[in-house]
Structure 1
Amino acid sequence: MSKREFTKYPYHVDPYKKHRITDEELDFLQELQKEMNTQHTWAQADPRIWVIQEPIRKYLDNIETDLRNDPDTVEILNQIADGAELYIDDVHMTTPQQLYHTIQSIIKNDDLEEKYQVELIHDYRVLIHGRNTLGENGEIVWDASLDKIEKNGMLSIVEWVMEYTIHHAELRYFVKELYLHPGIFFLTYRDGVKYLEKYESKYDKDVRLYAMSPKDLFTDCSPEIKKLFDILHTVDFSKRNRKIYISGKISGTDDYLERFAVAEKELSEQGYEVVNPAYEGTKLKDASYEDYMELSFQLLKNCDIIYMLKDWKTSPGANQEYGYALAKDMEIRFEK
């Protein structure tokens, strides 16, 4: 059996500028990890994702046309069906505006203007006024907010079209069945809720979120996706894993140990692993300025962040450290 060969596409240059992970990114990942690991799920699928479960309409085509339009069977059909759609001359009436223009056209083309007039109220309700006894108030009303087929709703439109015009109208009943929406998934239930609230108008009112394993949705996951979930479930994203280096003026000052110690305490309380070169320098004996700078850069190169004290601009050594941080694309923070 011959070995399958895959097309070897050439790599292109990575155009994206890189940076060390920031506090904001760490906070996001930490919050995401907490939400994923603590949210409620019914099956406790691991790893857990959420997908949109949206209802589709399954039409009850076995109902005879005459029965669809029979007022006496409406109550029974309402118990069976979740709703119905209105068709006039096989055209699906999807909006009140469309129905209004259709009825208006029928009245005009069939020379029924002396008998009937149609009105669109607030863009969601269609009224047909006429000399005949139509509805309880002498008019036919179709309200776009109706889910069920009521006597004074779409059924009245069907009755009017069939009895007083030469056109055909009918109701097509349906039931709703939920299915998994394959186009989008969410790492957390909270994220899915926010999405559906933002795009509420795009979905059926019966839409819901369903918890499942990625394997159920995708048959299986790639190693990279599995690795991502493993990282999100298990890695400690706390800031204490990040080293921050204090940079400031030392030479020519008497209080540098106190100033560096204050900064170290504040940063430690924020959760960082703090590198204090002023304190580390006290461990050197009979050291020159060059020895101190060599130690400083050895400490700095193992850090993620440099923290510039207010007086750093007047210090040649701190300026060198600042330049090194810029060259290495380190995160730079400044004392306020």
Structure 2
Amino acid sequence: MRYHEDTKVKRAICKDDIDFLKALQKERNTQDNCGTADVRTWVIKDRNDTVTAKGHGDYCILFDLESCNYLDLEDIYDILCDFELEIDYYTEEIVINCLKFENNTITFKYLNEEAIISKDNNNTDGIIVKGIYVDKLINFLNAHGYSIDITYMMVNWEYKFCFLTQKAAENYLKRKEHRHSVDAHTYCICTYQDPEIAKLMEIIETVDWGRIANIGIDKGE
């Protein structure tokens, strides 16, 4: 670690300081503990999902390289309709049949294998494919005129900033929500591992600031 000279100008504590500390003390001592042990601080818990390898993803995203758009369920259904009842050249099997799109879920048979494609409600552009290997289906579609890329995604949560009260964290998110994902929310964490924060919070929460106010504060006169 490296240090430098302390050049901060010092001043006497004033009434505004005391009023701020009293208000902060009241907020910390009366707010919900969110089921979290002391010492509590709040962060912004935000989603920033990452690309991962096949077999490790929580969901996948299909991207049409020609239109440069993500494929939603309606797009996928329209594409599958193009191949319904088509016969595979090599196996002479029906490639796609029993195709249905109901309740935001696509069901069909792909080479007689039951398949389900549904929207991942926790991810804006994500879909979940069950019953078949999604890359097997994409390879078939790409071999028949489409140009679709598949990306496997892993859910990734990040913890940003630090607030002494839940109210301060929520007020920040209201002001700056445009900088975060739709999944961003305030989250209470325990920071007892940091003895400096623990001591600072003990001072803020337990000192009688009303008595301090009577001990020669600078009234700005």
Corresponding residue number in structure 2 for 1:221: 194
Corresponding residue number in structure 1 for 2:117: 77
Corresponding residue number in structure 1 for 2:157: 179
Query: Structure 1 230/10 Cα, relative in aligned 2: closer, same or farther at 3 Å?
Result: closer
Query: Structure 1 64/17 Cα, relative in aligned 2: closer, same or farther at 3 Å?
Result: closer
Selected match of 2:147 from 168, 182, 206? 168
Query: Structure 1 23/77 Cα, relative in aligned 2: closer, same or farther at 3 Å?
Result: farther
The CA deviation at 1:167 is 7.8
Identity of aligned residues (%): 25
Corresponding residue number in structure 2 for 1:231: 203
Q: Which has the higher helix share?
A: 1
CA distance in 2 between partners of 1:32 and 1:200 (Å): 24
Query: Structure 1 187/80 Cα, relative in aligned 2: closer, same or farther at 3 Å?
Result: same
- Whichever residue aligns with residue 197 of structure 2, its letter is I
Contact 2:15-2:213 within 8 A present in 1 as well:
no
The CA deviation at 1:174 is 4.8
CA distance in 2 between partners of 1:168 and 1:28 (Å): 60
Q: Which has the higher strand share?
A: 2
Matches within 5 A, 1:187-266: 187-215=164-192, 220-222=193-195, 224-238=196-210, 240-243=211-214
Corresponding residue number in structure 1 for 2:216: 304
CA distance in 2 between partners of 1:57 and 1:11 (Å): 39
TM norm structure 1: 0.39
The CA deviation at 1:212 is 1.7
TM norm structure 2: 0.56
**Aligned-partner SS, 1:18:** coil
Question: Structure 1: 5+ residue runs without aligned partners?
Answer: 1-6, 86-146, 149-161, 244-302, 306-329
The CA deviation at 1:65 is 7.1
Corresponding residue number in structure 2 for 1:31: 23
Contact 2:18-2:213 within 8 A present in 1 as well:
no
Decide which structure has the larger Cα Rg and report it.
1
Matches within 5 A, 1:141-156: none
Contact 1:56-1:178 within 8 A present in 2 as well:
yes
Q: Which runs of 4+ in 1 moved over 6 A?
A: 63-66
Corresponding residue number in structure 2 for 1:20: 12
Q: Relative contact order (C-alpha < 8 Å, sep 6+): which is higher?
A: 2
Q: CA RMSD in A?
A: 3.8
Question: Structure 2: 5+ residue runs without aligned partners?
Answer: 64-70, 81-100, 107-115, 128-140
**Aligned-partner SS, 1:77:** strand
The CA deviation at 1:213 is 0.7
Contact 1:53-1:178 within 8 A present in 2 as well:
no
User: Do structure 1's residue 41 and structure 2's residue 37 form an aligned pair?
Assistant: no
